[in-house]
Structure 1
Amino acid sequence: MVVRGGWAGHEPVACTEMFLDGLRDSGFEVQTFETLEVYEDASALARADLIVQCWTGGRLTAEQEHNLVERVRTGAGFAGWHGGIVATGFEAARYQFMVGGRFVCHPGGFVDYDVDIVAEHPIVSGVGGFSVHTEQYFCHTDPTLEVLATTTFTGDHGAPETAGAVIPVVWVRRFGQGRVFVSTLGHGPDDLAVPQVRTITERGLRWAAVRA
């Protein structure tokens, strides 16, 4: 199940389309939805082994939040990137708890920064540290996450308070019987096309789909 929409600046259709053929090649039957109302359909959620969400700025109703969180808790994977997963559902506390982090700001807009691989995990196996030119997401995150990649803020771009802050860029977590994969990289197709980003994202989607 691919749920996409929200703020058009993140190009949710173009971004998700980059990964659909790969999912099909891995044996998934892919269905796309361009409304959050699909989370009200318990039968549709029950059929989903993996829910890929790319929806920046969404607001979840109590029913949508409950159904989504419970489906992941009972075994579905939940995965996404950038604002489509960490800059949405701000009022939904159970959703925020499941995802494990929320977007706060990106000082300076598009800037150059380094991404450091900090764990041994199949998602980042063989991927070394790399540099990107995109938004550097400052997130508030759950301390229990399994963090796979981080970035260190310099305090530049009018945000001296961030100097030295090490912020997760890629993380995973087990949630009940489900798995959650989050990457803050992926403002648009160009970001997702960076080889390391694409590899991590493709692996992350597949990892999330395997029951814990």
Structure 2
Amino acid sequence: MSGPTRRALVVRGGWEGHEPVEATDLFLGELKEAGFDLTVSAELDVYADRRLLSGTDLIVQCWTAGRLTGEQCAGLVSAVHAGTGFAGWHGGVVATFADSPDYLRMVGGLFLFRPADFLHYRVVISPEHAEHPIMAGLTDFDVHSEQYWMLSDGLNTVLASTAVDPADGGHGGAPLDMPVVWTRRWGKGKIFFSAIGHRTADLRDPTVRTLTRRGLVWAAR
């Protein structure tokens, strides 16, 4: 017999350059196969519906360049703190709601900069987390896309990283590690983030799709 059905809320919108509908559509069927009932919203006010959020096991967010009201931010942050999982990728998580400090503290990072052109770069799985359920069986892989420079919280568990050239950010010096995939806790809630996903083509890469799908399911209550 299968277990009780879990509920996932997919919140998508904002800047259309990140293809929020097309990108999240890639994972709707996989979430259903993983046993989730789905609600899809194109309105941020869903975060003010505390009754809905209290019965939600996973929030998948793809919303770039948005702003939260105080009520929306408080509803989202408190729901995750109480145990609702939160997951997403790229600018839909770290290039949005920049004027909501509580949101930024919850997700553990903020987009700062990217080179003007797409780059070919290597994503290296952290050896100490190679057996994490999200990364198990995967190996280092290459990406040709945007490479994000971010601020990130020291409490993040970094599952994969890449080397960025500080000259691109105006600093100079030797390359430095930049997180690409991380998890973290916010109260009772689990959070998953991947920096990869500017285009749906990025998310269709077999390794990226696998780790993203696993990350969404892992974050759920």
If the TM-score is normalised by the length of the shorter chain, which range does it land in?
over 0.9
Aligned with 2:56 (options 39, 48, 57): 48
Distance in 2 between residues matched to 1:117 and 1:183, nearest whole Å: 12
State whether residues 116 and 149 of structure 1, in contact with CA within 8 Å, keep that contact through their aligned partners in structure 2.
Answer: yes
Determine whether 1:24 maps to 2:49: no
The AA in structure 2 aligned to 1:35 is E
Cα deviation for residue 160 of structure 1 reads 4.9
State whether residues 107 and 159 of structure 1, in contact with CA within 8 Å, keep that contact through their aligned partners in structure 2.
Answer: no
Aligned residue in 1 for 2:157: 146
The AA in structure 2 aligned to 1:161 is G
Distance in 2 between residues matched to 1:161 and 1:71, nearest whole Å: 41
Determine whether 1:189 maps to 2:200: yes
Distance in 2 between residues matched to 1:61 and 1:116, nearest whole Å: 37
Q: How does 1:1-212 map to 2 (within 5 A)?
A: 1-118=9-126, 119-120=129-130, 121-155=132-166, 157=168, 159-161=170-172, 163-209=174-220, 211=221
TM-score (ref. length: structure 2): 0.92
Mark the runs of 5 or more structure 1 residues left unpaired by the alignment. Answer: none
Mark the runs of 5 or more structure 2 residues left unpaired by the alignment. Answer: 1-8
State whether residues 113 and 169 of structure 2, in contact with CA within 8 Å, keep that contact through their aligned partners in structure 1.
Answer: no
State whether residues 108 and 157 of structure 1, in contact with CA within 8 Å, keep that contact through their aligned partners in structure 2.
Answer: no
TM-score (ref. length: structure 1): 0.96
Compare 190-199 and 107-116 and name the one that shifted more.
107-116
Tell me how large the CA RMSD over aligned residues is.
Answer: 1.3
1:26-82 Cα deviation digits (max 9, x unpaired): 110011000111111111111210000000001011111101000000010000000
Distance in 1 between residues matched to 2:104 and 2:205, nearest whole Å: 28
Identity %: 50
Distance in 1 between residues matched to 2:112 and 2:13, nearest whole Å: 20
State whether residues 39 and 64 of structure 1, in contact with CA within 8 Å, keep that contact through their aligned partners in structure 2.
Answer: yes
